[in-house]
């Protein structure tokens, strides 16, 4: 036996120690600072490559004391920045089990492939896609969008994998000004070129203007370009806006365009019968990106690409290799070759945490929890409306609220800086984590709630502390 090949009792002992560390970490969350900034402790990580090893217990101690103590904070009930969800502790357990199995999930007739296949079907069902829709779990939304857009590119320019784009009229992709930057990255990486990404303006509720979109498509056709893909957003990062997906589906049907919906943040809300109508039309999309690591609350990482028509993913990604050749009679052959549904060959068992979560909570459990997040956002927006100190900058979309500190009669000048300073002060205090954004040119205190731990009193405390910080900053200046 060597130091890698631990005996089972030692595996058990270390696992128990790790379980204790995890439980203590969870127990300490509410009482501790939200953001575990490393700051001056960075020197702790500044060490040369270890020449010789040390006992596992020592390494575990260091991880407990110096790593787990400095989290980004998104497990904390008062973390409101970006769209970084809180993870279901059951997902932590699932990741432990999955990594113990260490399955390589590119294909084969082993449990992990069946689990991922089932998870994809369940997500398709949540989204309202046909039961034969195909998909793949990805590392996150950015990869899910890239994967879907690669499929769209292949569908709209079938020779492109062999010939590239040389000598052909440019493909054009359309998305709103509120679309996530990963769409831009994907258009770039897929060789479509960012100049062929048309950014369409939005209406007063931050939704894509379908009339402007139609005009842009007509203009491109007239100029001899090939309109190919419309990217609708199902829950924008900035404000939670949902594009009119039904109208986009009509337009795409009329114009023979691929409709992709970036639902990385929002689409899982379709699990709720109450919220589902907001996404009417999503079920008509050709492809959808959705993130289990957002509103299914699984630990990072897990995104998902779903494609309506079977075979399309393989059209874009199949690349036969002799060392992966499979004999149909072989015992190894499994239900799905995930390496033919995306760019990766070796893949981890991300599906287990999603599968265990869906089995544990069911549709209803997720619906109730997502509805709770949305209710918290509406509660906050209501309190902002009632307050003399704050101004709502956008109606809450899903679980995102944009507002700013603006005590009565404070002139516009200086408000942006004041609100940025309020954010910094709140983060510095360790009591909250939010990140500012800009909404229609105004700096916003943006609160995104993808967090089953957040309660009304957390939000009331936020408003109280934000006004206090605002008053202090005004009196200091
Ligand atoms: C979060 C998000 C992304 C990016 O997803 P990652 O998982 O962070 O890569 C893309 N689009 C939208 C709408 C998102 O909310």
pLDDT in tens, 65-76: 999 999 999 999
User: How many whole angstroms from 428 Cα to the centroid of ligand 1?
Assistant: 26
260 lines ligand 1 (CB under 6 A): no
The answer to whether the peptide bond before residue 34 is cis (omega within 30 degrees of 0) is no
Tens digit of each residue's pLDDT (9 = 90 or more) over 130-173: 999 999 999 999 999 999 999 999 999 999 999 999 889 999 99
pLDDT confidence of residue 330: 82
Which residues 6+ apart lie within 8 Å of 104 measured at CB? 346, 347
pLDDT confidence of residue 320: 83
Torsion of CA 402, 403, 404, 406, to 10 degrees: 160
234 lines ligand 1 (CB under 6 A): no
pLDDT confidence of residue 1: 60
262 lines ligand 1 (CB under 6 A): yes
402 lines ligand 1 (CB under 6 A): no
Q: Name the residue of 175, 180, 245, 435 to mutate for ligand 1: max ligand atoms within 8 A of Cβ.
A: 180
User: How many whole angstroms from 41 Cα to the centroid of ligand 1?
Assistant: 30
Domain parsing of the chain, residue ranges: 8-31+37-70, 103-348, 366-476
Give the neighbor-by-neighbor strand order of the sheet with 134-138: 134-138, 303-307, 287-290, 258-263, 226-233, 171-176, 197-200
* Runs of H (alpha helix) within 288-435: 292-295, 312-317, 351-386, 415-429
Q: Name the residue of 237, 287, 400 to mutate for ligand 1: max ligand atoms within 8 A of Cβ.
A: 237
Fold match between domain 103-348 and domain 366-476: no
> How far apart are the C-alpha atoms of 311 and 333, rounded to whole Å?
18
Q: CATH for 366-476?
A: 3.90.1150.170
103-348 classified as CATH 3.40.630.30: no
- Of 406, 403, 393, the closest CA to residue 459 belongs to 403
180 lines ligand 1 (CB under 6 A): yes
83 lines ligand 1 (CB under 6 A): yes
**Contact of 117 with 133, CB cutoff 8 Å:** no
291 lines ligand 1 (CB under 6 A): yes
244 lines ligand 1 (CB under 6 A): no
Q: Is the dihedral of CA 198, 201, 207, 211 positive or negative?
A: negative
Query: Could you tell me whether strands 390-397 and 303-307 are parallel, antiparallel, or unpaired per DSSP bridges?
Result: unpaired
pTM given for the model: 0.97
pLDDT confidence of residue 359: 98
- DSSP per-residue letters across 49-73: PPSS---HHHHHHHIIIIITTS--S
> How far apart are the C-alpha atoms of 338 and 316, rounded to whole Å?
12
User: How many whole angstroms from 9 Cα to the centroid of ligand 1?
Assistant: 41
117 lines ligand 1 (CB under 6 A): no
Whole-angstrom CA distances from 280 to 245, 266, 276, 339, 438 are 6, 13, 7, 32, 28
> How far apart are the C-alpha atoms of 394 and 202, rounded to whole Å?
13
pLDDT < 70 regions, the chain: 1, 326
> How far apart are the C-alpha atoms of 21 and 13, rounded to whole Å?
13
User: How many whole angstroms from 264 Cα to the centroid of ligand 1?
Assistant: 5
282 lines ligand 1 (CB under 6 A): no
237 lines ligand 1 (CB under 6 A): yes
């Amino acid at each position: 036996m060597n130091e890698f090949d631990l005996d089972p009792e030692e595996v058990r002992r270390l696992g128990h120690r790790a379980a204790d560390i995890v439980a203590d970490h969870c127990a300490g969350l509410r009482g501790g600072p939200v953001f575990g900034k490393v700051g001056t402790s960075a020197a702790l990580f500044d060490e040369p490559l270890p020449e010789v090893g040390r006992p596992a217990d020592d390494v575990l101690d260091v991880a407990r004391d110096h790593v787990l103590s400095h989290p980004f904070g998104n497990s904390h009930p008062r973390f409101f920045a970006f769209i970084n969800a809180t993870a279901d502790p059951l997902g932590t357990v699932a990741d432990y089990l999955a990594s113990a199995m260490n399955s390589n999930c590119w294909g084969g007739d082993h449990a992990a492939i069946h689990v991922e296949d089932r998870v994809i079907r369940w997500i398709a069902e949540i989204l309202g896609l046909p039961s034969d829709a195909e998909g793949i779990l990805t590392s996150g939304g950015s990869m899910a969008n890239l994967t879907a857009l690669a499929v769209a590119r292949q569908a709209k320019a079938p020779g492109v994998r062999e010939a590239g784009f040389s000598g052909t009229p440019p493909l054009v992709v359309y998305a709103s000004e509120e679309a996530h930057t990963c769409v831009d990255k994907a258009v770039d990486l897929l060789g479509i070129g960012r100049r062929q990404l048309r950014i369409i303006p939005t209406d007063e509720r931050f939704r894509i203007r379908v009339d402007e979109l139609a005009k842009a498509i007509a203009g491109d056709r007239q100029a001899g370009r090939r309109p190919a893909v419309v990217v609708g957003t199902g829950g924008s990062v900035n404000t939670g806006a949902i594009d009119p997906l039904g109208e986009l589906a009509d337009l795409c049907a009329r114009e023979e365009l691929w409709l992709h919906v970036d639902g990385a943040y929002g689409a899982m809300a379709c699990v709720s019968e109450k919220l589902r109508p907001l996404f009417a039309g999503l079920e008509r999309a050709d492809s959808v990106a959705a993130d289990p690591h957002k509103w299914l609350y699984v630990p990072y990482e897990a995104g998902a690409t779903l494609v309506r028509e079977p075979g399309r993913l393989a059209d874009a990604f199949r690349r036969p290799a002799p060392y992966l050749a499979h004999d149909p009679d072989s015992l190894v052959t499994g239900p799905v070759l995930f390496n033919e549904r995306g760019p990766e060959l070796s893949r981890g068992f991300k599906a287990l945490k999603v599968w265990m979560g869906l089995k544990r909570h069911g549709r209803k459990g997720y619906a109730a929890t997502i509805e709770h997040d949305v209710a918290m956002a509406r509660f906050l927006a209501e309190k902002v409306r009632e307050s003399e100190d704050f101004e709502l900058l956008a109606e809450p979309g899903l679980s995102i609220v944009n507002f700013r500190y603006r005590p009565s009669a404070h002139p516009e000048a200086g408000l942006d800086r004041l609100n940025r300073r309020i954010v910094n002060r709140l983060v510095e205090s360790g009591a909250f984590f939010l990140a500012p954004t800009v909404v229609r040119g105004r700096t916003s205190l943006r609160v995104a709630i993808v967090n089953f731990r957040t309660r009304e009193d957390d939000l009331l405390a936020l408003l109280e502390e934000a006004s206090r910080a605002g008053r202090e900053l005004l009196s200091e200046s």
